[in-house]
Structure 1
Amino acid sequence: MSQKLKVVTIGGGSSYTPELLEGFLKRYHELPVSELWLVDVEDGQEKLDIIHALCLRMVEKAGVPMKVFKTLDRRQALEGADFVTTQLRVGQLDAREKDERIPLSHGYLGQETNGAAGLFKGLRTIPVIFDIIKDVQEICPDAWVINFTNPAGMVTEAVYRHTNFKRFIGVCNIPVGMKMFITDVLKLTEKDDLSIDLFGLNHMVFLRDVLVNGKSRFAELLDGVASGKLTANSVKNIFDLPFSEGLIRSLNLLPCSYLLYYFKQKEMLAIEIGEYYKGGARAQVVKKVEKQLFELYKDPDLNIKPKELELRGGAYYSDAACEVINAIYNDKQTEHYVNIPHHGHIDNIPADWAVEMTAILGRDGAKPHARITHFDEKVLGLIYTIKGFEVAASQAALSGEFNDVLLALNLSPLIHSDRDAEVLARELILAHEKWLPNFATTIEKLKQ
């Protein structure tokens, strides 16, 4: 690594950027970022300007020699980069609102990373990530790309399946939230060594063991969640319903909160449709929060990350990102929970899958944790189903073919009718025409 440590953040005008910067400032003594470049697109210029000004105030308050730049020229920013973080939303929150509202109008779940909505976020995002990777390979081939753009699992799968770029790690805030929840309920201190066995796919992970100072405390944690004494939901953007005691005890695993969409499909859909008919979708809530955040960010006296940022669903994700960068930069060989290809490390799934699991991170990237070589058979069917959906989705993003979109939709357990899949595919492709350039031929046919 160069002495000058340069980080480029694509999607720099995001409301999360102050949290990312706070993470770098907090770790400056061991992760001396000398340049942070914030990159955005023309539509995001205003937000980028506000975020950049806030970041300059934060750096000044921290008194560290870090320079923060802003640009709409991604290629210029990538010159000499050591790490590139991606936190982008193609089509911004208006596109997300369509993702949510169109499926809900047909009686289907409209959730940012699952089902039809998750598929279309992936279709818009994957080609853009591929363009970024092309630029990285040309301009700064030794840089690591740390991606927190959703759907992170689908994006990671697409990158490893359809490009030859190997320095890519997908990061999610769900495992971080789960870890914080465990720290909280087991009343652990900084002196305690907490290690978690976590496995599955992005937004579909299960905890199978929790080791505190080398000793398993999983049984008491599972008992607390199963009996309802502890609530395991760690994210703001999912309606909080407890899993049934029978499910938790029969699985003998702790599912992440996104698994509510599979184990409580009926209930989650009823809640979302109720919200939809009241005129609400999650995107509208997020728009309100964003508006308030940017009003705060404009305050020339604000020079720290405001508490209100935690109302956004992705709180703590940037802590995960900073830790991943720190572990690689300083060759820490520490435990993290990331999306990576397992290269045959897990003995009962295909060797070419990208998975989310406990990994050890250092200078050479992420290696699956030695303790986890087998995925629990009880949930393997569900994991295979969702991976089939992700693989089909990454193919559709690449091809721009209507039938590839149909295949992905029909493979999702959240879509219950092949006819509805056609209706959803048609409506969503046309709604997102602007953000699906490689679907141009398909769109032309659909309009005939």
Structure 2
Amino acid sequence: MKLTILGGGGFRVPLVYGALLTDRGEGRVTEVVLHDLDDSRLYAVARVLAEQAADVPDAPKVTATTDLDEALRGADFIFSAIRVGGLEGRANDERVALAEGVLGQETVGAGGIAYGLRTVPVAVDIARRVARLAPDAWLINFTNPAGLVTEAMSRHLGDRVIGICDSPVGLGRRIARVLGAKNPQEAWIDYVGLNHLGWVRGLRIAGRDELPRLLADPDLLGSFEEGKLFGADWLRSLGAIPNEYLHYYYFNREAVRAYQQADKTRGAFLADQQARFYEEMRRPDAAALTAWDRTRAEREATYMAENRETAGAGERDADDLSGGYEKVALALMRAIARDERTTLILNVRNQGTLSARDTDAVIEVPCLVDANGAHPVAVAPLPDHATGLVCSVKAVEREVLAAADSGSRATAVKAFALHPLVDSVNVARRLVEGYTAVHPGLAYLG
């Protein structure tokens, strides 16, 4: 089976390949094609993968190419993990937003809109090529903003594109762990929302909802990441456990202030860190896997550091430093390729699951997965406060899609102005001016 990874020179690709190396089952991936526009990054990542596979018999064969059409032909699965504009673009997203006093995070608020505006046209081009060159392939979207990009691609690929994220999985695992579940994977997680905008409203272990027990126990609530971030009182008020990214909404002023006071934004930190890694990989004698492991450990340990500092949450737990999205991707591929039925939290078209949104809106919910793809599970309606936020942010996503389709600068301004974390039409106008000045990928906005 052939797997193509778009953005194959990306830093997190070895996580995916490492997961593939653990799969010894029938119908496993035997060929991996890495595609990237930067051949030096492809070379660096290929070196890491070669060291990962050194002692693994029958490891998937790895090839690399800068030719997109060549990479897509004959693929059974395609992972889209591109970053349009690179980490320099992410750092600019943050810088422009923070100068206006609003959030520049890569998937939330102004930064997420800017990232979406320059990513959607590229993602749509990829989707059209997949439809033409690999119509039977399944495309698994890692590219952020994941829900928005998945919806853009679904207009050309239908339900054969599925978005994934490790945030809901990690949240469910942490809750199950503090509740004493012997096998957190067996817990049923009632999770509903959009990507990076969802809530756990129940967690069933052996058929019993244990979330009320967690919400009633301040010590348990304060023992894991989200409890430390949001505080026990706020979680009890909500009656649910929010995705960690909702910290940017519920504590927006504090988050913006922390990012403004930081020595470096997250994007700037990662740009510098990864530049050192790729530069090190230019040395033929460098230990590729060791260098990658060291860089990854630092990356994971500093994830959402400003938010944790604002909340006094301390360091991340060791169990939360191991990644996770690659495991979701492998489980998704297995379920489809082998008809190994499973349940995963995924980004898929609504299909009537949430009554407040239309059929084609991509949402993030538990799905039953089999050889025919991912099928969203029926869920209870969200409470009004959550429904309002989901509808508001989805409306912004639709304006981003409309701006990307039409090239309308006015529609781009509208997308920024309507976002709950951008509080002024004038700020929205200045954001569009600032972003078009630093991003060549936004030159299409007339």
TM over 0.5: yes
Q: 1:180 to 1:31 in 2, by over 3 A?
A: farther
Q: 1:384 is matched with which residue?
A: 391
Q: 1:219 is matched with which residue?
A: 212
Q: 1:344 is matched with which residue?
A: 352
Q: 1:237 is matched with which residue?
A: none
Q: 1:192 to 1:203 in 2, by over 3 A?
A: closer
Which sections of structure 2, spanning at least 5 residues, go unmatched?
304-321
The Cα shift of 1:231 comes to 3.0
Per-residue Cα deviation, 1:336-368 (whole angstroms, up to 9, x for no partner): 011111211333433332100111111111111
Does the CA contact (< 8 Å) of 2:350 and 2:357 recur in 1?
A: no
CA distance in 2, matches of 1:152, 1:226: 34
Q: 1:111 is matched with which residue?
A: 105
Q: RMSD of the TM alignment (CA)?
A: 2.3
2:399 partner SS: helix
CA distance in 2, matches of 1:367, 1:222: 30
Which deviates further from its counterpart, 25-34 or 289-298? 289-298
CA distance in 2, matches of 1:315, 1:192: 15
1:306 partner SS: helix
Q: Which amino acid aligns with 1:422?
A: R
* Residue 318 in structure 1 maps to residue 302 in structure 2: no
2:444 partner SS: helix
Does the CA contact (< 8 Å) of 1:399 and 1:438 recur in 2?
A: no
User: What TM-score results when the alignment is normalised by the length of structure 1?
Assistant: 0.88
Does the CA contact (< 8 Å) of 1:157 and 1:391 recur in 2?
A: no
Q: 2:199 is matched with which residue?
A: 206
Which sections of structure 1, spanning at least 5 residues, go unmatched?
234-239, 443-448
Q: 1:45 to 1:217 in 2, by over 3 A?
A: same
Q: Which amino acid aligns with 2:161?
A: F
Which deviates further from its counterpart, 103-112 or 81-90? 103-112
Does the CA contact (< 8 Å) of 2:222 and 2:232 recur in 1?
A: no
Q: 1:284 is matched with which residue?
A: 268
Q: 1:105 to 1:31 in 2, by over 3 A?
A: farther
Which of 326, 329, 334 pairs up with 2:337?
329
Q: 1:63 to 1:100 in 2, by over 3 A?
A: same
CA distance in 2, matches of 1:192, 1:92: 34
CA distance in 2, matches of 1:111, 1:355: 20
Which deviates further from its counterpart, 176-185 or 84-93? 176-185
Which of 377, 381, 387 pairs up with 1:374?
381
Q: 1:67 is matched with which residue?
A: 61
Which of 151, 173, 176 pairs up with 2:166?
173
Q: 1:396 is matched with which residue?
A: 403
* Identity in percent: 31
The Cα shift of 1:127 comes to 0.9
Q: 1:446 is matched with which residue?
A: none
Q: 1:341 to 1:384 in 2, by over 3 A?
A: same
Does the CA contact (< 8 Å) of 1:248 and 1:254 recur in 2?
A: yes
1:101 partner SS: helix
CA distance in 2, matches of 1:389, 1:309: 33
Does the CA contact (< 8 Å) of 1:192 and 1:212 recur in 2?
A: no
2:54 partner SS: helix
Q: 1:73 to 1:122 in 2, by over 3 A?
A: same
Instruction: Describe how 1:294-305 pairs up with structure 2 within 5 A.
Output: 294=278, 301-302=287-288
Which deviates further from its counterpart, 410-419 or 27-36? 27-36
The Cα shift of 1:308 comes to 4.3
Which of 433, 439, 444 pairs up with 1:438?
444
Q: 1:49 to 1:407 in 2, by over 3 A?
A: same
Q: 1:57 to 1:19 in 2, by over 3 A?
A: same
Q: 1:319 to 1:225 in 2, by over 3 A?
A: farther
2:182 partner SS: coil
Per-residue Cα deviation, 1:168-220 (whole angstroms, up to 9, x for no partner): 00111111221331243234334872111100000001001111222221122
CA distance in 1, matches of 2:92, 2:222: 38
CA distance in 2, matches of 1:217, 1:227: 12
Q: Which amino acid aligns with 2:193?
A: G
CA distance in 1, matches of 2:65, 2:229: 44
CA distance in 2, matches of 1:283, 1:349: 32
Q: 2:222 is matched with which residue?
A: 229
Per-residue Cα deviation, 1:252-308 (whole angstroms, up to 9, x for no partner): 111011111111111111111111xx4x11112212332454467666555587264
1:339 partner SS: strand
Q: Which amino acid aligns with 2:195?
A: N
CA distance in 2, matches of 1:418, 1:255: 29
Does the CA contact (< 8 Å) of 2:146 and 2:195 recur in 1?
A: yes
The Cα shift of 1:47 comes to 1.3
Per-residue Cα deviation, 1:118-163 (whole angstroms, up to 9, x for no partner): 0111011111111111111111100000001100011122233x43
Instruction: Describe how 1:146-161 pairs up with structure 2 within 5 A.
Output: 146-160=140-154
1:28 partner SS: coil
CA distance in 2, matches of 1:329, 1:367: 15
Which of 240, 260, 270 pairs up with 2:257?
270
User: What TM-score results when the alignment is normalised by the length of structure 2?
Assistant: 0.89
The Cα shift of 1:232 comes to 3.0
CA distance in 1, matches of 2:101, 2:62: 46
Does the CA contact (< 8 Å) of 1:137 and 1:165 recur in 2?
A: no
The Cα shift of 1:26 comes to 1.1
Q: 2:307 is matched with which residue?
A: none
Instruction: Report how many aligned residue pairs link the two structures.
Output: 422
2:158 partner SS: coil
Q: 1:428 to 1:193 in 2, by over 3 A?
A: same
